[in-house]
């Protein structure tokens, strides 16, 4: 059975490698990661805006709430604008590094604004509804960014551009070189916008949200789907495939959009709509619950595992689990396969139940920053209960989940070390 499993994953590895290295998935993942700084700034602004109403010591911040809410509107509230620009730039630079990614980004932003419907305020001012600039427009932004950037490259490859003499400065040449692609791609999206405007959806944004983004959040954003993703991710890690690189590009945009919805609701003083999301997954599965294994190693009988524990302790306190994964090793270690594959999923389920029962607060969706130490990583969610949950999972539940499997392995390794020492004498 063991050999069959190894054989299956050896044969499957090229597929997973191709999936993990897919240019389009990598571009989406890179673009979403590129928005983390912006989202983090917006997240902190939201917390500063709402904390004065719950923490009396911070009541002086209430006077600055309008400023904090403005920051939220131009960061999380405009998330789709950042996404569409980053996706176009990343795709062009990945497929044709010598091409001008900035021009593609500008075209992409133009096309996204073309398909975004306008509205009129009560004062008769024409404005862009914030609805489609934030989380609800993320999938439209992704599609527009990918399509417009791909069209830009195809037009450039066919030399459908205005070429200037060599004596013309490069900055001016680039402007004229992008003129024809801009016009052609803009015309296409104008036509697309018109076609959607005569449908019952009214706009491309509404169509994509209703047909794609909404249903995906219902399917891929529930706890069952998250547990399945976690199991697949850890199973790939077990066979030496970088599970995070394979699975995250598929779901990261979806989960981050759910976080953005939570932050928008928090800023508006409304109940948070999503229990799960990227922040929830990242904080609950922090370090792959490897801290529990490291703590057991520090008390191990085996000298081998005590040394691995010492080496892995400091990195794992900052969520870096690779020293433990490859130092133990956990890859292809069938004696620790079950906890490695299932621990994250168990923690996700426990956390979800705690939130559902009201024991723990819903995660606000503040963008988690990799490299933050234990406890502080969860603190940005704005609730003591989330910090306590994070610490309990890492210091209590994690070690308990690893204990029966590691105890057996430690005993076997210790006995082998004793035999080797006896033989050496």
Look-up of token digits 């979800």: 352
Q: Residue 266: its pLDDT value, please?
A: 86
d(CA 114, CA 100): 22
pLDDT, residue 7, reads 56
In which band, very low, low, confident or very high, does the pLDDT at 15 lie, cut at 50, 70 and 90? low
How do residues 340-365 score in pLDDT, each as one tens digit? Answer: 999 999 999 999 999 999 999 999 88
Task: Give yes or no for residue 8 having a pLDDT over 60.
Answer: no
- Give the pLDDT band of residue 107 (cuts 50, 70, 90): very high
Question: Where is pLDDT greater, at 167 or 46?
Answer: 46
Residue whose entry in the numeric block shows the structure tokens 């990918």: 146
Q: What is the pLDDT confidence band of residue 106, given thresholds at 50, 70 and 90?
A: very high
What is the average per-residue pLDDT within 65-85? 87
Q: Which pair of structure tokens corresponds to residue 181?
A: 């692609």
Enter the tokens of residue 316.
């794992």
Give, rounded to a whole angstrom, the gap between the first and last alpha carbons of the chain.
39
Lowest mean pLDDT among 63-67, 126-130, 149-153, 373-377: 126-130
pLDDT value at position 292? 92
Query: Among 240-244, 278-282, 393-397, where is mean pLDDT lowest?
Result: 240-244
The pLDDT of residue 73: 85
Question: At residue 11, does pLDDT exceed 70?
Answer: no
In angstroms, rounded to a whole number, what is the distance separating the alpha carbons of residues 239 and 9? 7
pLDDT at residue 169 in the model: 58
Mean pLDDT of 70-85: 88
Q: What is the pLDDT of residue 14?
A: 63
Three-state SS sequence of the chain: CHHHHHHHHHHHHHHHHHHHCCHHHHHHHHHHHHCHHHHHHHHHHHHHHHHHHCCHHHHHHHHHHHHHHHHHHHCHHHHHHHHHHHHHHHHHHHHCCCCCHHHHHHHHHHHHHHHCCCEECCCCCEECCHHHCCHHHHHHHHHHHHHHHHHHHHHHHCCCCCCCCCCCCHHHHHHHHCHHHHHHHHHHHHHHHHHHHCCCCCCHHHHHHHHHHHHHHHHHCCHHHHHHHHHHHHHHHHCCCCHHHHHHHHHHHHHHHHHHHHHHHHHHCCCCCCCCCHHHHHHHCHHHHHHHHHHHHHCCCCHHHHHHHHHHHHHHCCCCCHHHHHHCCCCCCHHHHHHHHHHHHHHHHHHHHHHHCCCCCCCCCCCCCCCCCCCHHHHCCCCHHHHHHHHHHHHHHHHHHHHHHHHHHHHHHHHHHHHHHHHHC
- For the chain, what is the mean pLDDT? 83
Q: In whole angstroms, what is the distance from residue 151 CA to residue 148 CA? A: 5
Average pLDDT of 298-310? 89
State the pLDDT at residue 165: 60
Q: Which pLDDT band holds residue 125 (cuts at 50, 70, 90)?
A: confident
- How high is the pLDDT of residue 164? 59
Q: What is the pLDDT of residues 197-217, one digit of tens each?
A: 998 888 898 888 888 777 766
pLDDT of 174: 64
How many Cα atoms are found within 13 Å in the side-chain-facing hemisphere of 344? 27
pLDDT at 150: 93
Judge whether residue 103 has pLDDT over 70: yes
pLDDT at 19: 56
- Average pLDDT rounded to a whole number, residues 97-124: 86
Average pLDDT over residues 65-87: 88
> Tell me, what's the pLDDT at 268?
82
Q: How far is CA 46 from the centre of its chain?
A: 20
Quick one: pLDDT band at residue 152, thresholds 50, 70, 90?
Answer: very high
- The residue among 91 and 211 whose pLDDT is bigger is 91
- pLDDT, residue 219, reads 66
> Quick check: 254 and 220 in contact, CB under 8 A?
yes
How confident is the model over 166-196, as pLDDT tens digits? Answer: 655 566 566 666 788 889 999 999 999 999 9
**CA–CA gap between residue 370 and residue 385 (Å, rounded):** 21
């Amino acid at each position: 059975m063991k050999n069959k499993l190894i054989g299956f994953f050896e044969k499957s590895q090229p597929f997973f490698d191709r999936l993990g290295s897919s240019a389009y998935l990598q571009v989406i993942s890179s673009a979403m990661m590129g928005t983390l700084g912006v989202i983090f700034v917006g997240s902190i602004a939201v917390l500063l805006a709402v904390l004065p109403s719950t923490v009396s010591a911070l009541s002086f911040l209430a006077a600055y709430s309008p400023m904090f809410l403005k920051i939220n509107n131009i960061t999380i509230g405009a998330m789709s604008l950042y996404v569409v620009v980053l996706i176009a730039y990343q795709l062009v630079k990945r497929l044709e590094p010598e091409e001008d990614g900035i021009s593609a980004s500008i075209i992409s932003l133009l096309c996204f604004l073309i398909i975004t419907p306008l509205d009129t305020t009560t004062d008769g001012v024409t404005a862009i509804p914030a609805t489609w600039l934030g989380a609800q427009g993320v999938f439209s932004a992704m599609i527009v960014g990918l399509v417009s950037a791909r069209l830009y490259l195809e037009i450039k490859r066919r030399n459908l551009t205005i070429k200037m003499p060599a004596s013309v400065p490069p900055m001016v040449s680039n402007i004229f070189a992008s003129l024809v692609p801009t016009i052609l791609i803009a015309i296409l999206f104008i036509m697309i916008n018109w076609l959607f405007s005569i449908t019952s959806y009214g706009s491309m944004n509404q169509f994509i949200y209703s047909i794609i983004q909404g249903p995906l959040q219902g399917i891929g954003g529930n706890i069952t789907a998250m547990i399945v993703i976690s199991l697949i991710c850890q199973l790939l890690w077990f066979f030496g495939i970088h599970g995070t690189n394979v699975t995250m590009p598929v779901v990261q945009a979806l989960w981050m959009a759910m976080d953005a919805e939570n932050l928008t609701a928090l800023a508006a003083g409304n109940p948070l709509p999503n229990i799960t999301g990227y922040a929830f997954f990242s904080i609950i599965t922090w370090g792959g619950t490897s801290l529990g294994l490291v703590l057991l190693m520090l008390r191990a009988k085996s000298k081998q595992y005590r040394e691995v524990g010492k080496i892995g302790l400091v990195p794992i306190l900052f969520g870096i689990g690779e020293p433990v994964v490859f130092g133990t090793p956990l890859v292809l270690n069938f004696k620790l396969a079950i906890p490695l594959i299932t621990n994250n999923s168990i923690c996700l389920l426990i956390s979800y139940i705690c939130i559902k029962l009201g024991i723990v607060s819903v995660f606000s969706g503040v963008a988690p920053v990799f490299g933050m130490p234990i406890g502080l990583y969860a603190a940005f969610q704005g609730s003591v209960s989330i910090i306590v949950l994070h610490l309990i999972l890492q210091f209590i539940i994690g070690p308990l989940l690893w204990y029966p499997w590691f105890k057996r392995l430690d005993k076997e390794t210790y006995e082998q070390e004793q035999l080797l020492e006896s033989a050496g004498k």
